[in-house]
Amino acid sequence: MKILVTGGAGFIGSHLVDALINNEHDVVVVDNLSTGTKENLNAKAKFIKLDITADQLAEVFAVEKPKVVFHLAAQIDVRKSVANPVWDAEQNIIGSINLLENCRKYEVQKVIFSSTGGAIYGETEKIPTTESEPTEPISPYGIGKLATEKYLNYYWQVFGLPFTILRYGNVYGPRQNSKGEAGVVAIFCDKLQAGVSPTINGDGKQTRDYVYVGDVVKANLAALENDQVAIFNIGTGVETDVNKLSALIKDAFGAEVEFNHGQAKTGEQQRSCLSFAKAKSELGWEPLVAIDSGIKNTVNWFRSLSL
């Protein structure tokens, strides 16, 4: 099957591209390399350097005629979205509309969208959070993801363009870019690799649902095989606070460097954890990599960079 992956040179996207090619799909990657790298690219994928906001995206669809689109390209830094919400909206909302217009015009059979479960619900009383909980994002990034979800529903209801939305927890693993993709696991690993003391924002008791990139890829493959138009949380159902996370990373590195505590970030969400019950029952997916194993895999990858 001909498949287009936006953001396919990035952290999650490149792992997905590898899996799709291993399953003998014909893959085209569109990526502007703002955070992704050519080193991540599978040699068997066709690569087109392009921003999804560009008019030239129509030429890609006209030539390649993909049957399925995995949409991962995004500005994913919550803090940058707060600092510059107009730019965030241009990338994440306008870019997505441009993509969906081309999906409609060129009769794509399905769109699988990488959304956020961490930022889209906001502070919620129900932990683990289910897909039926209200969406009250407290950042422009989360608002942009929710807006794209609404546009997907519009294109389905009006034009019959099927979709699956995957709301991720905090994805971590090999290839995550500590500078461009803002993942706390990657940031801590980068600091420890350099022998620098990482800084924990606030008291470190804020929690997240850390899900391993390999499990996220399997969720995308399951969505490809599923005919439902639906939304699924992709998380572990386990809360991990930053203090525990830092200890796991420090132990995996065998580091003697101590973590510092800095100022808490204004407006930072305090708790986030996703129920995967719906994904298990309807997609046949569940997370398989425990956080201690996933952290060890990630640390080993970071160590390999210096060899």
At 269 the pLDDT is: 83
Residues 264-276 have pLDDT tens digits of 887 778 999 999 9
Lowest mean pLDDT among 152-161, 170-179, 229-238: 170-179
At 180 the pLDDT is: 57
Cα gap 247→185, rounded to integer Å: 11
- Mean local confidence (pLDDT), 185-214: 94
Say what percent of the chain tops pLDDT 90: 84
Long-range CB contacts (< 8 A, 24+ apart) of 105-110? 105/58, 105/61, 106/61, 106/62, 106/65, 106/66, 108/61, 108/66, 108/67, 108/68, 108/69, 108/161, 109/67, 109/68, 109/162, 110/67, 110/68, 110/69, 110/161, 110/162, 110/163, 110/164, 110/224
| pLDDT of residue 248 exceeding 70 | yes
- Residues with a catalytic annotation lie at 141
Quickly list DSSP for 104-115. Answer: HHTT-SEEEEEE
| Confidence at 307, pLDDT banded by 50, 70, 90 | low
| pLDDT of residue 251 exceeding 80 | yes
Q: What pTM did the predictor assign?
A: 0.95
- Mean local confidence (pLDDT), 177-192: 82
Which helix (H) or strand (E) segment is 19 a member of? helix 11-22
Q: Which amino acid is at 49?
A: K
Q: Are 192 and 232 in contact (CB under 8 A)?
A: no
| Confidence at 122, pLDDT banded by 50, 70, 90 | confident
Region 2-170+210-234: CATH code: 3.40.50.720
At 182 the pLDDT is: 61
Q: Which three-class secondary structure state does DSSP give residue 36? A: coil
At 102 the pLDDT is: 98
| CATH number of 174-208+238-272+289-304, picked from 3.90.25.10, 1.20.810.10, 3.40.50.2300, 1.10.3720.10 | 3.90.25.10
Q: How many residues does the chain have?
A: 307
Phi, psi dihedrals of residue 46, rounded to the nearest 5°: -85, 125
Q: Exposed, middle or buried: residue 195 (CB in 10 Å: 0-12, 13-18, 19+)? A: exposed
End-to-end CA gap in the chain:
38
Cα 102 from chain centroid? 22
The structural domains of the chain, with segments of one domain joined by +, span 2-170+210-234, 174-208+238-272+289-304
Instruction: Give the 3-state secondary structure of 204-222.
Output: CCCEECEEEHHHHHHHHHH
128 token code pair:
């683990």
At 278 the pLDDT is: 98
| pLDDT of residue 82 exceeding 90 | no
At 178 the pLDDT is: 77
| Confidence at 261, pLDDT banded by 50, 70, 90 | very high
Q: Which three-class secondary structure state does DSSP give residue 268? A: coil
Q: Which amino acid is at 136?
A: E
Residues 85-120 have pLDDT tens digits of 999 999 999 999 999 999 999 999 999 999 999 889
CB atoms within 10 A of CB 288: 12
Q: HSE-up of 38 (CA within 13 Å, CB side)?
A: 3
Q: Which amino acid is at 212?
A: Y
- Mean local confidence (pLDDT), 127-154: 95
